[in-house]
Structure 1
Amino acid sequence: MLYVQETLDRQTGLLATNTIGEYITVTELGHKYRVGPKRVRAILHHMGVLAAEGRRYRLPRAHVESGLGRRHDNPRSGHPFDVLSPECQALIAEAWDDTVADLDSEAEPPMRHAKAALDAFRSTRELTTQQAVCWLCDHYPRLLHRQIADILGVTAQLVSRFTKLRAKQKQIKIARKAQTLPVLQD
């Protein structure tokens, strides 16, 4: 989105429009590099562009003051978002490949450990794919669906379906635990 800055010329009384530059959202940057919204935020967090703020990754106020982007904390849509300046986009482009390689190299050891542990567990029991997905979710909760799919050799959609089913079954179990038992009269 093209950002402009309007200034009032006090002598003429007219607004002068100055173009600031082409700013893009973090998700649009992800589309540019062909990665999803969560992955682009993880990469930018690893790069140091975004910082964890509650349950989200946001552009720090220090970066806004240095001109790397803008924060939209109360937009009409209700969801806060950030936009990155052309200068920030150029810095990201320079460091993108190295950061992705570094992030992927860090992600490999947990996947290898999870696969080794799952193989050890499978040597003692026969597991279906759904059971293997649930086992990995229980023992390695930080693994992404894509990583679980890579470990098991299935699609991420199948992993997502099994995790949703697992969550639904957990909710049913919690609801049953919360029910009170009827009192029997003698």
Structure 2
Amino acid sequence: MLYVQETLDRQTGLLATNTIGEYITVTELGDKYGVGPQRIRTILHHMGVLAAEGRRYRLPRALVERGLGFRHDNPRSRYPFDVLSPKCQALIAEAWDDTVADLDSEAAPTMHRAKAALDAFRSTHRRELTTHQAVYWLCDHYSCLLHRQIADILGVTPQLVSKFAKLRAKQKQINIARKAMTLPVPNSPATPNYSDEP
């Protein structure tokens, strides 16, 4: 999206509009590099462009002050988001290959451990695990793995892993909701009274 900056010309009293460049969202940057929303945020966090804020990765205010982007903390849509300036995009392009290689080299040992653990688990079962069972097991025991890493371990597509992971998350929400159902209040009409009264 093309961003503009308006400044007041004090001599004429008119607003002057200056184009400051093509800013894009983090997700749009991920599309440009062919990676998903979660992966792009992991890469940019590893690069130091995004920082953890609560349950999200956001553009730090210090980088906003340096002209690397803008934060939209209260947008009309539900979720806050950030946009990255052309300068920031250029810096990311320079560091992209090295950052991805570094991140992948860090993930390799975890993937090897996960594969070995899954193979050991499979050996204890008489029946072969189905793909969705293997995805569930990896999601439960190695939640740090990305969908594409689980896909690499299992030799399936990331889309299939994503489908099963969403189904697993939905099942967990249903189980949590069941456990949270209210129990009957003592001495309510539906509950027998076990007092000592005759």
- TM category (shorter chain) comes to 0.7 to 0.9
- CA drift of 1:119 comes to 1.1
Runs of 5+ consecutive residues of structure 1 not aligned to the other structure: none
User: How far does the alpha carbon of each residue in 1:48-87 deviate from its partner, in whole angstroms, 9 at most, with x for none?
Assistant: 0000111111100011111111111112223211111121
Paired residues in the alignment total 185
Identity %: 81
- CA drift of 1:124 comes to 2.2
1:158 and 2:160 are equivalent in the alignment: yes
Greater Rg by CA: 2
Cα 1:98–1:11, aligned 2, differ >3 Å: closer, same or farther? same
Cα 1:169–1:8, aligned 2, differ >3 Å: closer, same or farther? closer
Greater share of helix: 1
Aligned to 2:196: none
Runs of 5+ consecutive residues of structure 2 not aligned to the other structure: 185-189, 193-198
Aligned to 1:121: 121
The normalised TM-score by structure 2 is 0.82
Cα 1:149–1:59, aligned 2, differ >3 Å: closer, same or farther? same
The normalised TM-score by structure 1 is 0.86
User: How far does the alpha carbon of each residue in 1:9-66 deviate from its partner, in whole angstroms, 9 at most, with x for none?
Assistant: 2222221122222222112211221211211111110000000111111100011111
Alignment of 1:14-163 (within 5 A): 14-125=14-125, 126=127, 127-163=129-165
Cα 1:43–1:183, aligned 2, differ >3 Å: closer, same or farther? same
Q: Residue 114 of structure 2 aligns to a residue in which SS?
A: helix
The CA distance in 2 between the partners of 1:21 and 1:163, in whole Å, is: 38
RMSD between superposed Cα atoms in Å: 2.4
